[in-house]
């Protein structure tokens, strides 16, 4: 079950790096989101079922990990959807750098919008036009910059690891 172990290690590392290293950095407008990069990279190899399970798990962990302070389940929902959608592209024939970047950009935008959308429904004061716009711009931009490096790395490692089971 080596692919499962790899996925767990990758996602845990991404969680801790995001909170401990990436978020404290003083970057303009916002920060990249390592979790969406890893979820997309793993889902592109593992398919929609595993994509959504990995997305849900890492989203829930991100909801629970301190210092998060919002209703539990919001990030879980967002990453589960993105994991599913990215997993549907598992059988994409021509996968160039451009398509990877486009997928990451759409996924980053989707994560922000779903998270903000649920927040708006719950009446979260932190969700307003400027914060959503800033988060969208920053997350998409920084993730697109990191995508050509992170996604092939994680996808390659996942492909070489033993598959969990074949459905």
Partner 1 sequence: MRDSGRARVVLAVLLLTAFTLITLDYRSGSGGPLRRVANAVFGPIENAVGDVARPIGSFFSSLGHLSSYKSDNAKLRKEVAALRSQLRLTDADRARLDAEEKLLHLDQIAQFRIVAAHVSAVGGSLDFESTATIDVGSRDGIAPDMTVIDGDGLVGKTLSVGPTTTTVLLANDVQFSAGARLESSQLIGHVDGGGRGPMTFTLLDSQGTVKVGTRLVTFGDIGQRPFVPEVPIGRITRVVPTPGALTRTAEVAPYVGFDSLDVVGVVVSAPRTIKRDSLLPPSPSPTPSTPPPSSPPSTPPATPGKSPSPSPSRSG
Residues at the interface with partner 1 (CB under 8 A): 16-26, 30-31, 33, 47-49, 51-53, 56, 59-60, 62-77, 80-81, 84, 87-88, 111-112, 115-116, 118-119, 122, 124-128, 130-131, 134-135, 138-139, 167
Identity of the residue, 92 or 98, whose beta carbon is nearer to partner 1 in the bound complex: 92
Q: Are 57 and 65 in contact (CB under 8 A)?
A: no
87 vs 152, beta carbon nearer partner 1: 87
What minimum distance in Å lies between the beta carbon of 94 and partner 1? 20
Return the DSSP state at 127: -
17 Cβ contact partners less than 8 Å away, ≥ 6 residues apart: 34
10 vs 116, which CB is nearer to partner 1? 116
> Each residue of 94-133: b (16+ CB within 10 Å) or e?
ebeeeebbebbbebbbbbbebbbebbeeeebeebeeebbe
- Name the minimum Å distance from CB 76 to partner 1: 4
């Amino acid at each position: 079950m080596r692919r499962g172990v790899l996925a767990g290690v990758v996602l845990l590392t991404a969680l801790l790096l995001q909170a401990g290293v990436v978020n404290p950095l003083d970057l303009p407008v916002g920060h990249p989101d390592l979790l969406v990069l890893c979820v997309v990279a793993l889902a592109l190899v593992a398919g929609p079922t595993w994509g959504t399970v990995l997305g849900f798990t890492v989203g829930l962990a991100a909801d629970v990990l301190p210092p998060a302070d919002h209703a539990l389940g919001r990030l879980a929902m967002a990453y589960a959807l993105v994991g599913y959608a990215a997993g549907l592209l598992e059988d994409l024939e021509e996968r160039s750098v451009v398509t990877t970047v486009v997928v990451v950009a759409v996924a980053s935008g989707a994560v922000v919008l779903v998270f903000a959308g649920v927040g708006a429904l719950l009446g979260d004061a932190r969700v307003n036009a400027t914060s959503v716009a800033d988060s969208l711009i920053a997350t998409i931009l920084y993730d697109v910059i990191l995508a050509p490096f992170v996604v092939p790395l994680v996808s390659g490692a996942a492909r070489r690891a033993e598959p969990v089971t074949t459905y």
